[in-house]
A and B are shown apart, each in its own frame.
Chain A
Amino acid sequence: MLTFTQGSPEAFTELFARYQRPIDGFFRRRIADPARAEELTQETFLALLHAAKRYEPRALFRTYLYAIALKILRAHRRKAIFRAAFFGRSETTPDPTRQDATETGLWVRRAVAQLEATDREILLLREFEQLSYAEIADLLQLPINTVRSRLFRARIALRELLNPSSSAAAAPDPAQATSPGGNPQMMAEKGQRA
């Protein structure tokens, strides 16, 4: 990006080639209509182009790009809510049969859709965009510990939604779990037992 701001248009072409698919995936996992997702992808890169003059490398470029995408996504959702509330038009949904033919893991999509909104966003950013906890915290303006606990909650909830029969599977009880440095006496006992 810095190369582009210093006068190399080829750098922006390279950026587009590198990030076009991830951004497209970002929108297609969050919006039912693939055509609309593609439009938003294009909007994101246009916004990036127009904002290039103001770009300052204060964070990772990836974080910067996803911040733009997230902002565009929120604007799209606001407009969709407004249209649905006042004009009675909901977001156009694609033909499910065609989508089934091309998209795998639809049950995952349905399970993810049932998660709480913030948990879902954190899970998607972590699993598919491969953002670190710190980057997610920066994007969503949340404390990093909140991101971690919400991600944990989302993963557990998703597992239950994907595999209801495995409710017997369990996570260690946080009440019983202690940090390694938090209880040296128990650590010593454990060491002796070992």
Chain B
Amino acid sequence: MITEVHFTEVHFTAPEEIMALLDGELAADRARLVTAHLEECAECREFAEILRSGAQAVLSWTLPLASANPDFGKRLADAAREVTVQERSSGISRWSAYHRRHWVAKAGVAALLVVVALISLRPMMMMKNEREASLGISPAAPTAPAPTGLNIREQLGMAGPQDRFTTNDGREEQRLSIEELKAQREALIDRLQEAQISSNLAVSPSTTLSPSPTEQSQPMIARNVALSIVVKDFDFSRGAVDAILARHHGYAASLNASTQQNAARSLQASLRVPAGELNAAVAELKSLGHVENETQAGEEVTQQHADLVARLMNSRDTEQRLQAILLQRTGKISDVLAVEQEIARVRGEIEQMEAEQKSLEHRVAFAIIDLNLAEEYKAQIGSASPSISTRLHNAVVVGYRAAVESAVGVVLFVVEYGPSAIVWLAILAPLTWFLYRRWTRATSLVS
């Protein structure tokens, strides 16, 4: 490349500036100076001539006249006219044109959103329908008479001047706004649910701790309540729970209290309360603080209990008959032994069923309250915390362990995956090298 200097003098301009001057790209003040220098410096003038002749040589590369496709020019003019006409006739903005182009994508997104909404709403709708069905209320027929002879809302003290339900005495339905109707309907459902729970509790054999199954003509329901309560005074609430249990003749089946330092304290307990006193006990527990979550469930075990009692009676009859056979009949020793074995088997079954019966009756007699008590934690400035030296020591130990663990982890990783990596490298490296060579060769060919 020509970069050697054959000038005998020091020049006051860079060669690039001479080139820029010839190209008309030099600022006016510098152009004046460079022009003046060119007038004085023969070598720079010669260099300028070299540049000019080089440019002339380059421009000798001419192309023949292109045989342009006349059809394309005509089609392009038509397309330009069409574009202009479309713009005029539609008058649609760029934004709407963009949206029009992407309507398929947007329709797909909308359909996806609808499907997601339906999927997410379906369980809620099903739960609502089940709840209403269990209460005997059809959402499609809000004007249906209440199941009892009287208006049930009157019984619940909710009947007002704007009651939309038709009463049995022929009062006409009054028109209300949709929002009011919905609100009243939700309130009615809640009240009915509570009323049903109360009635279930009332008819459950809860007043006696060991109800007689033969006297059970009403449904047996095992109650289960879950409560999550946030309390301000944890110590007081902890004592209050014990007091409530004592007052309602209940007990704690399990209790787990967590009192960590500098953290909110909590208590998880599984309480057993006589079913008849469940409502009162729950109400007192709820008064301890803010209820965050409450769940009530009831399992009807009437059929299961009746079946168990019947099987127990049969087994007892069988046992009596076997004992009569053993006492009254005579026979071989083997026969006697067989009868005794059969008596032992039946006796075992009877005892097992008696235990099941007791357990079942206990579940009905004692409702379960799963209580989760959490403290509303407030951090305290003066709370005791580990000293700085202890924390420093712990940090050093933890850091040391982490360093060792990470080093061991790296070694394990290399040992575990190293052989596989070597194998794959051996397979892929030649292929990659081959593709790279072809790529570079193609690049050089094309450019």
Residues of A whose CB lies within 8 Å of any CB of B are: 4, 7-9, 12-13, 16-17, 20-21, 24-25, 28-29, 34, 38, 42, 45-46, 49, 52-54, 77, 80-86, 90-91, 102-106, 108-109, 112, 117, 123, 126-127, 132-133, 148-149, 151-153, 155-160, 162-163, 166-181, 183, 186-187, 190, 194
Contacts and interface: CB of A to CB of B under 8 A. Distances in A.
The 9 A-B residue pairs whose C-beta atoms are closest, nearest first, are A173-B5, A84-B442, A105-B61, A180-B33, A108-B61, A12-B80, A9-B81, A102-B64, A105-B60
A80 B61 CA distance: 25
7 contacts: A9-B84, A52-B83, A84-B441, A155-B55, A171-B3, A174-B16, A178-B14
A157 B356 CA distance: 103
B438 interface: yes
Contacts of A45: 76
Nearest to B435: A85
Contact of A155 (B17, B51, B63, B80): B51
Contacts of A149: 16
A186 B10 contact: yes
B445 A90 contact: yes
A159 to B, nearest CB: 5
In this complex, the member of A34, A86, A151, A173 whose beta carbon has the largest number of chain B beta carbons within 10 angstroms is: A173
B79 interface: yes
B77 interface: yes
Contacts of B88: 7
Contacts of A25: 63, 66
A68 to B, nearest CB: 14
B58 interface: yes
A172 B47 contact: yes
A147 to B, nearest CB: 10
Interface stretch (B19-27, B159-167, B263-271, B423-431): B19-27
In this complex, the member of B1, B37, B47 whose beta carbon has the largest number of chain A beta carbons within 10 angstroms is: B1
A24 B65 CA distance: 10
B62 to A, nearest CB: 5
Interface of B: 1-7, 10-20, 23, 25, 30, 33-34, 37, 40, 43-44, 47, 50-51, 54-55, 57-64, 66, 68-69, 72-73, 76-77, 79-81, 83-84, 87-88, 94, 97, 435, 438-439, 441-443, 445-447
Given A21-B66, A52-B83, A127 B59 contact: yes
Contacts of B79: 46, 49
A112 B61 contact: yes
Contacts, number: 206
Given A8-B84, A104-B60, A160-B2, A174 B68 contact: no
B446 A80 contact: yes
Contacts of A172: 5, 7, 11, 13-15, 18, 43-44, 47
B102 to A, nearest CB: 15
Nearest to B68: A20
Contact of B10 (A13, A17, A117, A176): A176
Nearest to A84: B442
Contacts of B47: 170-172
Given A28-B66, A180-B34, A148 B16 contact: yes
Given A177-B13, A190-B12, A190-B40, A38 B66 contact: yes
Given A9-B81, A103-B64, A81 B19 contact: no
Contacts of A80: 442, 446
Given A9-B83, A180-B33, A190-B12, 4 more contacts: A82-B442, A168-B6, A179-B30, A183-B12
A105 B50 CA distance: 19
A38 B15 contact: no
B50 A157 contact: no
B41 to A, nearest CB: 9
Contacts of B23: 126, 133
A104 B6 CA distance: 34
Given A80-B446, A171-B47, A156 B2 contact: yes
A186 B47 CA distance: 21
A166 B25 CA distance: 27
B37 A180 contact: yes
Nearest to B58: A127
A84 B447 CA distance: 12
B57 A108 contact: yes
B55 to A, nearest CB: 7
B298 to A, nearest CB: 67
B15 A152 contact: yes
A180 B2 CA distance: 24
B80 A159 contact: no
Given A12-B76, A104-B61, A171 B15 contact: yes
Contacts of A158: 54, 58
B20 A159 contact: no
A176 B9 CA distance: 9
Contacts of A180: 12-13, 30, 33-34, 37
A151 B2 contact: no
A167 B6 CA distance: 11
Contacts of B25: 132-133, 148
A82 B23 CA distance: 38
B64 A156 contact: no
